[in-house]
A and B are shown apart, each in its own frame.
Chain A
Amino acid sequence: MTDQQQRETESVISVRDLWKVFGPGADKVPRSPELAALSRRELIDATGCTAAVRDVTFDVAPGEVFVVMGLSGSGKSTLLRCLTRLIEPTSGTMMFGGQDILAVDARRLRELRRTKFSMVFQHFGLLPHRKVVENVAYGLEIRGASKAERTRRAMEVIELVGLSGYESSYPDQLSGGMQQRVGLARALAVDPEVLFFDEPFSALDPLIRRDMQNEVIRLHKEVGKTMVFITHDLSEALKLGDRIMIMRDGAQIQVGTGDELVGAPADDYVRDFVQDVNRSHVLTLRWIMRPPRPGDPMDGPVLGQDVLVHEAVRAVLAARKPARIMDSADNLIGMVGDEEIFGVITSTETVAAASSRPVTVAR
């Protein structure tokens, strides 16, 4: 009991064995071990059902930015919609702040949606016939907030997302990036505990996208909300995510921090995925250090194991000696020399030593 309670207080969202199957007799699939074992293609041939989400399990900690990443058709958007029950999952459990979301009735669910979580959409989903301020206030309006109150709150949020001066514009008068700021503001206006982002920036052009990513990082620092973020863009995932879950064909392939994914891909699929990433910007020294060897010079620079490789390059190369990696208790745990550094920068070598490391390190 206490154990479970503790876990519930620890994680905001806790998902266990979640399935979403579309098609006739969908609910039979998760219950049948044979069917559940089939690949997506085989399942379609056998039953005519499509498994959009297959047996997904994860936890999201308070204040964490949890990114779900996958290509289109991987089931990530369906997963997100299951979390808010915009789509009813076929089976599994979902706890939200200790409450079983699947068990609540429509009324309570609305209550949760109105107060606890809100969502930002890929194509914004703004109301074209309403001004920015009315769009932002929509969530408060349906809660029944007074006009004065919701306008006041909406103006606050509009300022927070940097849209001051545009509150009386209509959505079609704004650029895509600004429209998504409205979407963001609408989600923030209800002061939710969790924000869900459904590929919010994929419709924007690259420069705007970077701005918006920085905006999210800034907001996360300022308001400290828990966020679940869907994307198909790995660099976005690495940039924003505290932890990342990679999905493929509805199933989760790997969950871990950015450096874990790059440093220790769970399979060839993930490896393929992370191949083009600039590893030196993701990996920390921990992933490339080698054990100290007899005869290693002990007068090289001292670095922490969580230093990013590209931050260490200059120091290591300038010292012409391998750097000593110390843990927090000042114990020597490894060495990083030119060889290791170049190995990462030229990406010729996979980080063999690391692949055996456990990947589900909770923060």
Chain B
Amino acid sequence: MRGLRTARVTALVASAAVALVLSGCGGAKVGDTGAASSAAPAASGSGGGGGAECGTFNIAINNWVGYEANAAVVGYVAERDLKCKVVKKDLKEEVAWQGFESGEVDVVLENWGHPDLVKKYIDEKQVAVDAGLTGNKGVIGWYVPPWMAAKYPDITDWKNLNKYADLFKTTESGGKGQVLDGDRAFVTNDEALVKNLNLNYKVVYSGSETALITAFRQAEKQKKPLLGYFYEPQWFLSEVKLVKVNLPPYTDGCDADPAKVACDYPPYELNKIASKKFMDSGSPAAKLVKNFTWTNDDQNLVAKYITVDKLSAADAGKKWVEENPDKVKAWLAG
């Protein structure tokens, strides 16, 4: 019996060894005969010569669909036209910025402000640079589901919010109306706004974008009142056209002191951030990043391909690029 057990161990070792030996000799017979396979990852692209120029192009992917649309398009163009080896890394914003310093990330393709990170990595450490605007206009504000805007037309004026505060009461808002915020990563002045506009509301954190979207989706479906923080461009708006509540209009400098903010959010010009080393490297991808710019509609279209048509990000990007050769040509020119 002991013999049997020994035999078992021996055979286990042997089978592991076989696996390793086989893996070690790396015969590429599949590669020789199976050229027909289309699914081979693009990374190993057959035209190796072109790849040398661009090399590896590391795109950080932040976890929202609009961002992924940008990355899908830029990535596809870099791969197809510049023969780059595109590596996409799924990262939270802050970790992505950390990557500029270590060279693990070349570019962040849609940046929403983040003054703290700008200060640290662009101003202080000087490892990242602003690579220009994406052309997308970010809008942040308070929104209600469309059925409410229809039923209570005057709700879109902030002055009437206190009138409706009772509607927005929840178990979480402690007897006041609820303003549902998202993830703590979002740029938000909401607590100051509630205080400074004397609103009978309380800011409640839903904790994540997913929870926020789900809450709005249910609110529209079940005709439940909901007031919450939201933003454009966002794919969800093509599913449910949330209506923005007009806070006191933004004027230059009205948000200078975060504690005293009493005006709407400024319009955000979303930009690209890139590693300084990468921008200085002369890689053709750096030029592509600098030139890349498109509109909210463009991004929303790609986002729709992903969310509604259920294309993979890569396929969605490919589709848009093939449909818009002129815009792409402009990115590659100059």
Which range contains the number of A residues in contact with the other chain?
A: under 10
A220 at the interface (CB under 8 A from B): no
Interface residues of B in 1-55 (CB under 8 A from A): 1-2
Contacting residues, chain A, for B1 (C-beta < 8 A): 131, 168
Q: Assess whether A198 is interfacial by the CB under 8 Å rule.
A: no
Which residues of chain B are within 8 angstroms of A130 by Cβ–Cβ distance? 2
Report the minimal beta-carbon distance from A167 to chain B, rounded to whole angstroms: 12
- Tell whether A64 is near chain B: CB-to-CB under 8 Å: no
How many Å from the CB of B146 to the closest CB on chain A? Answer: 71
Contact code string A149-180 (vs B, CB < 8 Å = 1, else 0): 00000000000000000001000000000000
B311 to chain A, nearest CB (A): 57
Q: Mark A103-132, 1 if CB is under 8 A from B, else 0.
A: 000000000000000000000000000110
Q: How far is the CB of B9 from chain A (nearest CB, A)?
A: 14
Measured between beta carbons, the chain B residues less than 8 angstroms from A131 are 1-2
A130 vs B2: C-alpha distance when bound (angstroms): 8
Contact-residue size bin, chain B (C-beta under 8 Å from the other chain) = under 10
Interface residues as binary, B216-252 with A (CB distance below 8 Å gives 1, 0 otherwise):
0000000000000000000000000000000000000
Determine how close the nearest CB of chain B comes to the CB of A150; give it in whole angstroms. 14
Judge whether A259 is part of the interface by a CB distance below 8 angstroms.
no
Q: What are the residues of chain B within 8 A of A134 when measuring CB–CB?
A: 2
Mark A130-143 against chain B: 1 for CB-CB distance below 8 A, else 0: 11001000000000
Min CB distance A92 to B, Å, is 43
Chain B residue nearest to A170 in the complex (CB): B1
B79 vs chain A, min Cβ distance (A):
57
Q: Which residues of A contact B2 (CB under 8 A)?
A: 130-131, 134
Residues of the B chain whose Cβ atoms lie less than 8 Å from the Cβ of A168: 1
Q: Which residues A304-345 have CB closer than 8 A to chain B?
A: none
- Expressed in whole angstroms, the Cα–Cα distance for A168 and B2 within the complex equals 10
Measured CA separation A134–B2 after assembly (Å): 10
What is the CB-to-nearest-CB distance from B133 to chain A, in angstroms, rounded to a whole number? 71
A328: min CB distance to chain B, Å: 59
A340 to B2, CA, bound (A): 65
Q: How far is the CB of B3 from chain A (nearest CB, A)?
A: 11
Output the least CB separation between B297 and chain A (Å): 71
Closest chain A residue, CB of each to CB of B5 = A129
A134 to B1, CA, bound (A): 11
Q: Chain A nearest CB: distance from B4 CB in Å?
A: 12
CA distance A130 to B1 in the complex (A): 9
Q: Shortest CB–CB separation between residue A130 and chain B, in angstroms?
A: 8
Give the contacts of B111-136 with A (CB-CB under 8 A): none
Bound complex: CA A23 to CA B2 (Å): 44
Distance in angstroms between the alpha carbons of A110 and B1 in the assembled complex: 30
B85 to chain A: closest CB distance in Å?
Answer: 53
A319 to B16, CA, bound (A): 88
Distance A131 CA – B3 CA, assembled complex (angstroms): 12
Q: Report the Cα distance A168→B1, complex, angstroms.
A: 9
Closest to B1 in A: A131
**Which chain A residues numbered 231 to 282 have a C-beta less than 8 Å away from chain B?**
none
Mask: chain A, 23-45; 1 = CB below 8 Å from B; 0 = not: 00000000000000000000000
Query: Nearest-CB distance from A141 to chain B (Å)?
Result: 12
Instruction: Please give the distance in Å from A113's CB to the nearest CB on chain B.
Output: 25
Q: Min CB distance, A67 to chain B, in Å?
A: 38
Closest to A130 in B: B2
Per-residue 0/1 for A205-247: is the Cβ within 8 Å of any B Cβ (1 yes, 0 no)? Answer: 0000000000000000000000000000000000000000000
The minimal Cβ–Cβ distance linking A154 to chain B, given in whole angstroms, is 14
Contact string against A for B residues 185-229, beta-carbon threshold 8 Å, 1 for contact and 0 otherwise = 000000000000000000000000000000000000000000000
- CA of A232 to CA of B1, assembled, Å: 39
How many Å from the CB of A60 to the closest CB on chain B?
39
**Smallest CB separation, B2 vs chain A (Å):** 7
Q: How far is the CA of A337 from the CA of B2 in the complex (A)?
A: 67
Query: Which residue from chain B places its CB closest to the CB of A168 in the assembled complex?
Result: B1
The smallest C-beta distance from B325 to any residue of chain A, in angstroms, reads 72
Report Cα–Cα, A134/B5, bound state, in Å: 14
Whole-angstrom CA separation of A356 from B17 in the bound complex:
81
Select from chain B the residue with minimum beta-carbon distance to A134. Answer: B2
CB distance from B210 to the nearest CB of A (A): 51
Q: Chain B nearest CB: distance from A135 CB in Å?
A: 12
A299 to B134, CA, bound (A): 134
Distance (whole angstroms) from the CB of B191 to the closest CB of chain A: 59
Complex: A131 Cα to B1 Cα, angstroms: 9
Cα separation A131 to B2 with both chains bound (whole Å): 9
Chain B 177-188, CB-CB to A under 8 Å as 1, else 0, gives: 000000000000
- Chain A 282-317, CB-CB to B under 8 Å as 1, else 0, gives 000000000000000000000000000000000000
Offer 5 A-B interface pairs, CB within 8 angstroms, sorted by A. A130-B2, A131-B1, A131-B2, A134-B2, A168-B1
Residues of B within 8 A of A (CB): 1-2
- Closest 4 CB pairs between A and B? A131-B1, A134-B2, A131-B2, A130-B2
